[in-house]
Amino acid sequence: MHTQAPGSALTRFRRPAAAAMAATLAAAGLVVVAQTAAPAAHAAPAWGPCPETVTTASAVCTTVSVPVDYSAPEGDRIDVTVSKLPARSQAAKRGVLFGNAGGPGGDSLTYFDNNELFTWPDALRDEWDLIGVQPRGLAHAGPLECAPLDAADPVMIATNLGGAHRASCEQASGGYWRHLTTENTARDWEEVRRALGQERISIHGLSYGTLLGSTYATLFPQHTDKLVLDSGAHPDWMWNDVLLEQNEPYKQRVVAMFDWIAANDAVYGLGDTPLKVYERWSQRVMAESGTTPTLSPPPARIGDVPPEWQALAQQYMDGVTLTGPLRAQVEGLLNQLRTPGAVQALSPMLGATRGLAPQSSAWPVIAESLRDGTPVGPQDPQMPELPQEAVIALNMQSAVLCNENRVAPRPLDYPGFLWTQFVTGDIFDAVGLTYSSGAACAGAPPVATPVEVHNAGLATAPLLINSLADPQTPYHGALALAERMGAHVLTVEGGDHGQVAKGNTVVDDAVVEYLRTGHTGVTRAPAPPMPVAG
């Protein structure tokens, strides 16, 4: 039987709140709010059971009361849930390590649980209390509730998506949406630090969590111990550019996945070149959606040359590679004309491919599904049965992105947004163009000025870790964050998103060394172990 934990959904926001909605776009953010009064004292936390999503048996949870508006600390408050995995060796305990799962919208209560993606180093579990502070706006931390939107309204999508979402949240939760910012979440961390009675905290931030961790360290350098920035985001891309910068790297990462599947043709039988795998994949998308994907096919290889073309193999490969992008577009449009209502975005395989490509450990899921014909992902994209907590996370994410958006829209990207949104349904381009064109936050201008993150006199230089081909936080963007924060950079081969706790002993050992001593001489690491084909 599940006992409702401290910080569960029902009592987080102490004002009237109503229904929920299913918004659909994603990213990450920053913000500025003045703190005008001395912080109130906190009672010692009362630890108890956690929400059932937290799977580590030793985990305990509590709540910390924080102001909704830090410029009016005597006003409305929310209860932010905090999870703790106590250090397994209390005699060797070195301090506390705050973790953030990224997003914005990632559940941080479960961040330090071991699962199919993360296996945390034993030294971290032994020597630090691992702390997850649920970001405000999510379930168990003042959930942002919004009235439903008409997701099929093309005028709203094209001209007022951000404004319509804000109005829906205003209807259900009043003006609470405007207080969902990275700076306010960082200030919540400070309230939690004080409640825990810790003079300084160490931080492990993943993806968007690198911006949140950097924001905290900029605001509270005297209370920041070690800062691990895992897969760093460029502060200047928030938010209209952050998803646009992912468009091409995502496509390249899918090609890398097809290459891996082809290298394991003896196991999967899907083709011994990336192009052959792509063709099998395209057939699956066609079967599910009624049309073929417009994602450009991989370059042709010698194994793609028919016997009759062997004498002109190079010319054949060059021709196939050169015409591939156009052929994919034309074939997709012809299939849509033949099959009214066919949209590639309705293919569960297409969505799963984009979603799983950044994690090499998940590539067998795609390969096995293609080989066996088994389902992958939600099987009815038109009527997704999203859990309520996922709906709340999407609400929160949309609010943060528009609240903190510091990048002007690019009007020249608007035709591309319309084309991908209403004609081709190409999710590889549509996500980035929805933001870069300005459509995602249309009608929702920013309400906060991001914190200009920098090294504000940290006693220990941060450690930033990034892979060379990460599609979610591209390497050159991570280097910009490293420069702002004065961080030591550890470059990882490959293209996984998220580097710590992925079975890469070089990375994990370097992080443990850094957290223990404040230093590591490691500057380069191999990619994490590739999955075993099966």
Pairing outcome for strands 524-525 and 95-100: unpaired
Residue 25 has what pLDDT? 33
Angle between helices 348-356 and 274-289 (to 10 degrees): 140
Confidence label for 387 from pLDDT (cuts 50, 70 and 90): confident
Distance of CA 38 to the CA centre of its chain: 34
Which residue has 């196991």 as its token pair? 267
Q: Tell me the CA distances in angstroms from 15 to 83, 143, 173, one per residue in order.
A: 24, 11, 8
Angle between helices 363-372 and 348-356 (to 10 degrees): 150
Q: Tell me the CA distances in angstroms from 336 to 264, 342, 343, one per residue in order.
A: 33, 5, 7
Run of H or E including 489 = strand 488-492
Pairing outcome for strands 488-492 and 524-525: parallel
Domains, the chain: 9-31+45-239+450-525 (3.40.50.1820), 244-372 (no CATH)
Confidence label for 152 from pLDDT (cuts 50, 70 and 90): confident
φ, ψ of residue 427 in degrees (nearest 5): -70, -20
Confidence label for 506 from pLDDT (cuts 50, 70 and 90): very high
Residue 384 has what pLDDT? 53
3-state secondary structure of 82: strand
Task: Report d(CA 344, CA 431) in Å as an integer.
Answer: 14
Say if residue 61's pLDDT is above 80: yes
User: What is the average pLDDT across 125-144?
Assistant: 98
Residue 378 has what pLDDT? 61
Which neighbouring-strand residues pair with 204? 99, 228
Task: Report d(CA 205, CA 210) in Å as an integer.
Answer: 5
Which residue has 């380069």 as its token pair? 524
Instruction: State the Cα angle at 317 between 313 and 321, rounded to 5°.
Output: 175
pLDDT digits (tens, 9 = 90+) for 82-109: 999 999 998 999 999 999 999 999 999 9
DSSP secondary structure code for residue 463 in this structure: E
| Residue 372 CB contacts under 8 Å (≥ 6 apart), including other chains | none
Pairing outcome for strands 60-67 and 95-100: unpaired
Residue 379 has what pLDDT? 58
Pairing outcome for strands 77-85 and 128-133: antiparallel
pLDDT digits (tens, 9 = 90+) for 441-500: 999 999 999 999 999 999 999 999 999 999 999 999 999 999 999 999 999 999 999 999
Distance of CA 300 to the CA centre of its chain: 32
